[in-house]
Structure 1
Amino acid sequence: MRLKRYSRKEPLVFVWVMAPYVVIMNMVIYGACIWRSLAAFASTFFSSVLYFLVIYLVFGMVAVLIRTRIPAGSDLFRRISVMLPVFYIMNIGSVAGLFELSSRLSFVVCDIKPHMYWWAVLFGCILSTAITFINEGMANWEQWKDSLAETEKLRNAYQRSKLLGLKGQINPHFLFNCFNTLSGLIGENEAEAERFLDEMSRVHRYLLRNDDELLVPLAEELKFARSYLHLTEQRFGSAIAASVNIDPELHGCGIPPLSMQVILENIIYTNAISKKNPLMILIEAVSAQEIAITHSVFEKTVVQHMQVEEGLDNLLNKYKLLNAPPVMIREDGEHRTIVLPLFDGTNLPA
C-alpha cells in the first residue's frame, strides 16, 4: 500500500531535515559523548535515524489524516492549530521512546542523560513546528500551481470550444442540407418554404453572433433551439419528434452561448434517424436551476462528424471554467439525458 504524502516535496524535506535533527537531538540526550569516537557517533546516529524514520512516518500519517479532515486552503490556521498540539503530545511520547530504546541497545556506547528529557522534548516540538509550516507551505504552493495549470487548461478548452463553435457556424454539410430541404419546399409549399427560410436565417444569425460572452439569457438559446429543431424536422419529417417545455420564469437565467447547438448537433449526428424508430427530443426544466435535454438512443455504428463529441467535451469543460455545478449525463440504454445547470442573479460568475 502506497503511503500518502502531505506534499510532493515531503521526501526532500525529510532528507534535508533528518540528518541535522538527529545530530542535535543526540547532542541533547547523549552530550559530548557522541564526539569521542567514530563508533560512538555511528552507533548513536544510525540507531536514532532508524527510530526517527518510523516516528516521521507516523507523524506524516497523522498530518495527512488531519489535512483530509480539514482540506480547505482557507482553513490553514485552523488546520495548524489542530496539528501542533497533537504533534507536541506525540513528541513527548517519541522522546520517551528514544530514551527507553537507547537504554536497551547494547551497541550504543554512550549513556543517555535523563535530566535532558524535557530539553529534548522542547527541541522536538520546535522542529515539529518548523516542519509543519514547511510542509504546509509546500502543499499550498503545489495546490496553487495545480490550480493555475487547471485554470489554464480550462481556458484553452474554452477557446477551443469557441473554435469548434465557429466551425459549426460554417459547416457546409448543414448548409447543404438546409438549402436542399428549402429547394424541395419551394415547389411544394411556398408558405412553409418562407417560414423555413425565416428559421434558417434565425439559426445562422445566432451562430454568427459574437461568442465572447460567457453567458446569454436562456430565452435566446431556446429561440435558437426551436429554430434549429424546426429545420431538422422539415428535413427528416416524422423521423424526428421534438418539443420544448420550459417555464417562462426561467427565461432570464444564464447559460453558456451555443450550448444547445453543441447538444442538438451531438444528438442528430450520433443517432440513426428513421421513420420506423423516430428520434424523440425533449427540452424541459427539471428544477429552478437546471434544464434537461432528453432523447431516445439509436446510436450510429460510425459517426462521421467526430467534432460533435469533442464539442460536448468542451461544453463540460466550459462549465468547469465557470465554477458551475457539473453537467450531468445519464443514460439507460434507451434514453439519454443531459442536465445543464443554469445561472441566475445569485450564482453568476464574477
Structure 2
Amino acid sequence: MLCYILAFYSYVGELPGFEYQITGYLPSAVFGLWAGLSTLFVGKYLNKLVSWKQRHGIRFLIQCTALYLIGLVLIAIYSEMFLISLRGDLSYSQFWLIYNDEIFKTLLILFLVVLVYCIIDFMIYSFNQMREEEIKSVELMNNQLNLQFEALKSQLNPHFLFNSLNTISSLLYKDKEVAEKFIRMFAESYRFIFKQNNRPLIPLQKELDFVQSYNYLLQVRFQEAYELKINIPDKAMESYVPPLSIQMLVENAIKHNLISQTSPLSVDIEINNNYLCVKNNINPLREQPESFQIGIENIKKRYSYFTNDSILLDKNEHFKVSLPLILQS
C-alpha cells in the first residue's frame, strides 16, 4: 500500500483520494496479505528444509533470497495492475521511463524490509531457543535432584539403620575399640551421604572412599562371610560417577543374596574396557526384595544425563553391572 501511495504521488502530485480506494487501496491490501502469507509459508517450509538450528548462515541467505524473489513477483504483478488502473494508455517502456526512480526505490525498500524481517526472525528464534534451553536446564536439574533424593531415601532405609544399631549394641559388650571404629565409620558414611548427594557427579576416588567406609560396616556385620575387592588403576580415579551409584550396587548385592559361612558373598569392583564393573557371585534369596529394579533404574536415569553409553547388565555365573566411565565433570 505504501508503494501505491508513493507511485501515485510521484505521478499525480497529490495523495490518492477516496475515489481510488477500490482501485488502489484494496489491491494493495490484497497484495500485502499475499506477501504476509507467502512469508509465513516460506518460514515454515525452510524450518523443515534448513532450520535456524542447523545452519544459521545458509538459512539466513536462503530466506532473504526467497522472500526477495517473491517480493519481486508480487511487485511485477502489482505494477501491471497499477498500470491498467491508473493510465491504461501507457506502454511498458513509458511506464519504466516515468516510474524508474520509484521502481528503484521500491526494490531498495523491499531489500531493506526483507533484511530487517530476516534479522528479527532470527532474533525471535534465538530468544525462543534460549528460553527453551533454560526451561530444559531447570527441568534437568529438577529431575536430577528427584533421582538423587530417591537414592538418598534408599540409603536411609530403617532396615540398614536397625541392623547397624544392633551391631553397635553387641560390639559394646564384646570389643569397645571395634565398636568405637564402627560408630565412627557409621557416622562418616552418613555424613558423606548428606554432603555429596546434592551434587550430580563426584570424583570416583571420593565414591570409593565412601564405599570403603560402608564396607567396614558390612565386614563387621558379616565377618568372613563377606568380602569386597577393589582393583581400580590410578588413571581411572580421574573419572566421575553419580554419588551413591557404586554403593547402591554393593548394597544390592547384600540385599539380594544369602550371606553365611557356608555361602559367602564376594563383590569385585574393577575396570574393563572403559567400564567400571561391580560383580558378585550369586546366592539368591528365596524371596527377592522389590527394590532391585528401582535401584538399577535410578542409576540408569542419572547416568543418562551425562553419557549416551548404556549401563550393561550380565547375569551368568556372576551378576555384573558395568557403569560407563565419565571422564569429565
TM-score range, shorter chain: 0.5 to 0.7
> Given the alignment of the two structures, is residue 150 of structure 1 paired with residue 136 of structure 2, yes or no?
yes
Equivalent residue, structure 2, for 1:205: 188
Give CA-to-partner distance per residue, 1:148-186, whole Å, 9 cap, x none.
Answer: 333333444455556556545542211234456789999
Q: d(CA) in 2 for partners of 1:94 and 1:102?
A: 12
TM-score of the aligned structures, taking structure 1 as reference length: 0.59
Q: Which of 291, 294, 312 in structure 1 is aligned with 2:299?
A: 312
Contact kept? 1:265, 1:308, Cα under 8 Å:
no
Equivalent residue, structure 1, for 2:2: 24
Q: d(CA) in 2 for partners of 1:240 and 1:30?
A: 97
Equivalent residue, structure 2, for 1:225: 211
Q: Which of 69, 72, 76 in structure 2 is aligned with 1:96?
A: 72
Please tell me the residue identity of whatever aligns with 1:328.
S
Q: 1:47-66 to 2 correspondence within 5 Å?
A: 47-62=31-46, 65-66=50-51
SS in 2 for 1:43: helix
Q: d(CA) in 1 for partners of 2:251 and 2:7?
A: 75
Q: d(CA) in 1 for partners of 2:214 and 2:157?
A: 14
Q: d(CA) in 2 for partners of 1:197 and 1:232?
A: 15
Q: d(CA) in 1 for partners of 2:225 and 2:326?
A: 30
Q: d(CA) in 1 for partners of 2:37 and 2:281?
A: 60
**1:147 Cα offset (Å):** 3.1
Contact kept? 1:242, 1:281, Cα under 8 Å:
yes
Q: Which of 251, 266, 276 in structure 2 is aligned with 1:291?
A: 276
Contact kept? 1:244, 1:282, Cα under 8 Å:
yes
SS in 2 for 1:328: coil
Q: d(CA) in 1 for partners of 2:264 and 2:31?
A: 77
SS in 2 for 1:37: helix
SS in 2 for 1:283: strand
> Given the alignment of the two structures, is residue 67 of structure 1 paired with residue 52 of structure 2, yes or no?
yes
TM-score of the aligned structures, taking structure 2 as reference length: 0.62
Q: Which of 286, 290, 294 in structure 2 is aligned with 1:303?
A: 290
Q: Which of 299, 302, 311 in structure 2 is aligned with 1:329?
A: 311
Q: Structure 2: any 5+ residue segments left out of the alignment?
A: 10-14
Q: 1:260-279 to 2 correspondence within 5 Å?
A: 260-265=246-251, 272-273=256-257
Please tell me the residue identity of whatever aligns with 1:54.
S
Contact kept? 1:239, 1:274, Cα under 8 Å:
no
Q: d(CA) in 2 for partners of 1:138 and 1:295?
A: 55
**1:219 Cα offset (Å):** 2.8
Equivalent residue, structure 2, for 1:73: none
Please tell me the residue identity of whatever aligns with 1:211.
K
Larger Rg: 2
Describe the shift of the 1:86–1:296 C-alpha distance in structure 2 as closer, same or farther (beyond 3 A): farther
Q: d(CA) in 2 for partners of 1:82 and 1:259?
A: 45
> Given the alignment of the two structures, is residue 131 of structure 1 paired with residue 121 of structure 2, yes or no?
no
Equivalent residue, structure 2, for 1:17: none
SS in 1 for 2:195: coil
Q: d(CA) in 2 for partners of 1:278 and 1:29?
A: 97
Q: d(CA) in 2 for partners of 1:95 and 1:211?
A: 63
Contact kept? 1:245, 1:284, Cα under 8 Å:
yes
**1:205 Cα offset (Å):** 1.5
Q: d(CA) in 2 for partners of 1:149 and 1:302?
A: 37
Contact kept? 1:279, 1:295, Cα under 8 Å:
yes
Give CA-to-partner distance per residue, 1:13-32, whole Å, 9 cap, x none.
Answer: xxxxxxxxxx3355467776
Please tell me the residue identity of whatever aligns with 1:339.
L
**1:201 Cα offset (Å):** 5.2
